Amino acid sequence: MMKIGIFSNPGSASTRVSNALKSKIKAEHLVLDNDDPDILITVGGDGTLLSAFHHYEKQLAKIRFVGIHTGHLGFYTDWRDYEVDELIDSLAHDNGQSVSYPLLDILIEYSDGKKQSMLALNESTLKKLTGTMLANVYIKDQLFELFRGDGLCVSTPTGSTAYNKSAGGAVVSSELDVVQVSEIASINNRVFRTLGSPIIISPQEWVRIEPVELNENLMTCDQKVVENRQIKSVTYRISKQRIAFAQYRHTQFWKRVSESFIGVKPVD
């Protein structure tokens, strides 16, 4: 029997939806299990889905996610709060349909030699708490540039519409297995020079960032923050793991981008 978990943000609208979900799941004789779910329904926004992703990070191989948005439609959230009955019907007729997206593999090496692996759904950024970040950037172990500026943002295709977009990165189709590196306010003048545009690397390539000053670095992985640790290097590549979503309906990626950012209507 398929086990269903619910991960809700604490807001009143989300709590109402999650309570309605719980009683309808019981009424359909589906099994509620937040510890070991096959399907994990998040209730809130894209931020809630990001939190759920990290909460269930160790169980990714087994879980399919479903996102209900209690506000506008999101990038990871295909369902609206008033569609609970339709969703329950889809769950009752589930036949394992799914779609999966790439994740970002992060390997941090600290100055004491310790290493830490992390996984991002949207992106990871590397910045300096105060002042300009100075860092050597390597692609496949080959020095690419000396970066000076606020920081660098390394994102997945589905994360390309988040922080990456604010940093001037390209929106990347969720059907591509690539990693994008975008600059956050780089300094470019006659003395300092970076490429000045985002780059996109293939699954066979990796990027390593080595801050020149080891103190006061700030590294993020989605909403998680690593600070007050001396980071020697961070290596980014496409992960072997992916996130899966139960695909009961298909919202075309570019339609979602257009509706979320432009809201264009055809002219008759």
Shortest distance, CB of residue 28 to ligand NAP, whole angstroms? 27
Interface with ligand NAP, residue 8, by CB under 6 A: no
Other residues' Cβ atoms within 10 Å of the Cβ of residue 196: 10
* Cα(237)–Cα(201) distance, integer angstroms: 9
- Judge residue 36's burial from the number of C-beta atoms within 10 Å of its C-beta, 0-12 exposed, 13-18 middle, 19 or more buried: exposed
CA distance 229 to 163: 23
CB of 171 to ligand NAP, least distance (A): 9
Name residue 45's amino acid. Answer: G
Residue span binding ligand NAP (CB under 6 A) among the ranges 15-23, 89-97, 134-142, 160-168:
160-168
CA atoms within 13 Å, Cβ hemisphere of 156: 25
CB count in 10 Å sphere of residue 115 = 11
Residue 112 annotated to the active site: no
At position 140, the amino acid (one-letter code) is K
Q: Is 11 in the site for ligand NAP (CB under 6 A)?
A: no
Residue 197 counted as an annotated binding residue: no
Contacts with ligand NAP in 186-215 (CB under 6 A)? none
Residue numbers 78-117 binding ligand NAP by CB under 6 A = none
Check binding of 235 to ligand NAP (CB under 6 A). no
Q: Which residue's beta carbon is nearest to the bound ligand NAP?
A: 47
Smallest separation, CB 44 to ligand NAP (Å): 7
DSSP state of 177: -
- Which CB, 25 or 41, lies closer to ligand NAP? 41
The backbone torsions φ and ψ at residue 5, rounded to the nearest 5 degrees and listed phi first, read -110, 155
74 binds ligand NAP (CB under 6 A): yes
Q: Is 162 in the site for ligand NAP (CB under 6 A)?
A: yes
159 sits near ligand NAP (criterion: CB under 6 A): yes
Choose which of 50, 52, 108, 179 interacts with ligand NAP (CB under 6 A): 50
Residue number, 158 or 233, with CB nearest to ligand NAP: 158
Q: How far is the CB of 136 from ligand NAP (least distance, A)?
A: 24
Helical packing angle, 84-92 and 12-27, nearest 10°: 40
Q: Measured between alpha carbons, how far is 168 from 205 in angstroms, rounded to an integer?
A: 22
CA atoms within 13 A on the CB side of 14: 21
| The token pair that represents 216 in the structure block | 């006061």
Q: Could you say whether residue 68 binds ligand NAP (CB under 6 A)? A: no
- Interface contacts to ligand NAP, rule CB under 6 A: 45-47, 50, 74-75, 122-123, 158-159, 161-163, 166, 222-223
Which parts are annotated binding residues for NAD(+)?
46-47, 122-123, 148, 150, 161-166, 185
